Chains A and B, each alone.
Chain A
Amino acid sequence: MSTTSTVRSAASVAAGEAAAPIIELRNVSKRFSKKLDFAGKIAQKLGAPVKDETVHAVDGVDLVVRKGEVVGLVGESGCGKSTLGRMVAGIMPASGGEIFWHGRPLNSLSGAEARHAKLQTQMIFQDPYASLNPRMRVADIVGEAPLVHGLTRRAEWDAYVDNQMRRAGLDPAFKRRYPHQFSGGQRQRIGIARALAVQPEFIVCDEAVAALDVSIQAQILNLFMELRQELNLTYLFISHDLGVVEHLSDRVVIMYLGRVVEEAPAEEIFARANHPYTQALLAEVPRIEARKKSFAGIKGEIPSPLAPPPGCHFHPRCPHAFDRCRVERPALKEIAPGHKSACHLNDKVA
């Protein structure tokens, strides 16, 4: 494929030789606004204090993912991980900032290049059912794109699809079934097979193994790691399962309410978490050794993404919050080589 080589060479010129970034985000934001409905508009005209609501789902995020890397993305439910993942995968435009694909701005790519970039970056979706067309048979869900893009030919198509299904732990005997005839974890594996079938170089895994039992999960994670070794695949791995993230990731990025609050090599994060939110997260990881424990509710108030608290977003729940935290946004700063954190406490100590 000619586009591949031109794009790749352009990228390596731009970014030097070793482990060039596949994707780079600079100050990327995503806002969703909810326009007032009719009743709301009337109320506003009559002087009621209502206005359009805006959710800052992603708020000025910098992120680099290098070729061959596995970056774990962790954070509170609703903090913007899927939104970030969708922007990285090129299926949702950013509302601010710039995204670079192999060193080139994503929105400067020509039509053919953009299509190629899209094919090379696949996303495994969090919600397997909603992301599968209910009226398509599994064989077509998995095999349509590879056929269209010339990764397999009509004559070899059946074998190709069987292979992809088997690799994801699905019995090819089920290829003529529709999504609703599968269990939750089987549907998730359909999504995995579909993403891998187009032979991408970069995969955004959004809770990609959450619906699998741990043995099948192990099988899929082993497959991801093999593909990485054989084909130098790159992953952005979004997950709530910190055990999985620890096992798999080279680097871990922690988000809270739209912002990156900490970033470090995996071993470093799990050994020396710096940010109070990361520490709270690690303290709540359920352990298989625990028995009938009492779970602790969240202390402090969970902030609304509609009206995020000023200063450090975490301050209403932070046990260490002090005056400055309530007014000034902490910057993401390097506190050790490769370890960044956004917390005012780090200035106090220094």
Chain B
Amino acid sequence: MSQTQMQTSSRAAATAAAPTLEVRDLQTHFFTRAGVVKAVDGVSFTVGRGKVLGLVGESGSGKTVTGFSILGLVDAPGRIVGGEILFHGQNLARLKEEEMRQLRGNRIAMIFQDPMMTLNPVLRVDTQMIETVLAHTKVSKEEARQRARDTLGMVGIPSPDERLKSYPHQFSGGMRQRVAIAIALLHRPELIVADEPTTALDVTIQAQILAEVQKLCAETGTAMIWVTHDLSVVAGLADDIAVMYAGRVVERGAVSEVLDQPLHPYTHGLIGSVPSRNKRGEKLRQIPGMTPSLLSLPPGCAFRTRCPRAQEDCARDPALSELLPGRLARCFHPHVATHGSAVQGSVTQGSPA
């Protein structure tokens, strides 16, 4: 990446219109009997109109809880304990449940990691979709049915007419997932949080859905948060990427820059584990050690016990800092760019949470 390109991208970012969503220092904790689980502990990112943010990271690092927080779906013993979720400038964390219900499924939608969270097992798929349409728009039942049918066609469900009359358990895993995606798309929302939406789909159907998603973002300006473990999908779909580890964003930036030149050692390790980056049949590279328990994180950098670059000063807590223009990472000893451009910013110590 050349210096000029970097300047252009940061200038573009500066002049962009107000983002659809801005999350600032979000903290969502679970107060369990065993102690406080800091599932999300200082997450910040923005998603602009028509943009896709790829949210990746360690399993259990808080991606789903972040999504639930945005949609106001965190249940006891969990609670948002800090930070702001600004949707067109309005703080969702402060909304009353009734106001949130008006937004949910209409202007903001979520595609759940588990499609059965969207689908009611005892209702036929047509009943569920028609009810969703009627809940937020005044149209006739026939128009609602037509809309449901069209949307199922978009996600590649064949002969939607007959299929609509089935119950969820009569669908394969991937078909259930596509119905859940279709339900999220019904109202062409301004923001979609998609949690692992295409992992259950084969690559041709995945491509079909990604094509529809791209069309939706371009035509209606829908902003997307795309949670996934598939870095190849992020590479092809997203504009920006945020990498999470142990409840925090540890790296953020434009997709091409982060994937080509990860700064944070965790991101580096993650990319190294992708099977296509390993020799067939040989042991895959894995990050040594185990995810620390969120109940008892060691002080300092949470990645410290597993990090090949760790030094003594990592016992302090690194803040998310801009190390290169538009490139943020939470690390005292980041991988330095190989093309000569040295890390410019300096990392400050984060405020203890």
Contact surface of A with B, Cβ cutoff 8 Å: 32, 34, 53, 55, 74-78, 82, 126-127, 129-130, 166, 169, 171, 173-174, 181-186, 189, 207, 210-219, 221-222, 225, 240-244, 246-248, 266-267, 280-281, 284-298, 301-307
Contact = CB atoms under 8 A, between A and B. Distances in A.
Interface of B: 30, 32, 56-60, 63-64, 113-114, 116, 156-159, 162-163, 166, 170-175, 177-178, 195-196, 199-208, 210-212, 214, 229-233, 235-237, 239, 255-256, 259, 269-271, 273-278, 280-281, 283-287, 290-291, 293, 295
A296 B211 contact: yes
B236 A295 contact: yes
Contact of A77 (B30, B201, B232, B287): B201
Contacts of B201: 77, 240
Nearest to B162: A306
Q: Which 9 A-B pairs have the closest CB atoms?
A: A77-B174, A185-B59, A218-B284, A286-B232, A304-B159, A295-B210, A304-B158, A218-B286, A78-B172
Given A294-B214, A306-B163, A288 B203 contact: no
B281 A211 contact: no
Given A185-B60, A213-B229, A296-B211, A129 B114 contact: yes
A217 B202 contact: no
29 contacts: A32-B170, A55-B170, A77-B175, A77-B177, A77-B202, A78-B171, A82-B173, A173-B295, A181-B30, A181-B32, A183-B64, A210-B199, A213-B270, A216-B291, A218-B278, A218-B286, A221-B284, A240-B174, A240-B200, A281-B203, A286-B203, A286-B235, A287-B276, A293-B236, A295-B214, A296-B207, A297-B208, A304-B163, A307-B159
Given A78-B172, A184-B114, A286-B230, A240 B286 contact: no
Contact of A76 (B32, B56, B205, B271): B205
A75 B205 CA distance: 11
Contacts of B273: 214-215, 217-218
Contact of A292 (B57, B113, B211, B236): B236
A222 B284 CA distance: 6
Given A281-B204, A288-B274, A302-B156, A215 B172 contact: no
Contact of A288 (B57, B162, B205, B235): B235
Nearest to A173: B293
A225 B236 contact: no
Contacts of A225: 283
B283 A222 contact: yes
A231 B162 CA distance: 47
Most interface-central of B202, B206, B214 (chain A CB within 10 A): B202
Contacts of B274: 214, 243, 288
Nearest to B117: A129
Contacts of B230: 241, 286
B199 A292 contact: no
A12 B205 CA distance: 42
A265 to B, nearest CB: 12
A215 B287 contact: yes
Given A222-B286, A240-B199, A294-B211, A211 B113 contact: yes
Contacts of A53: 162
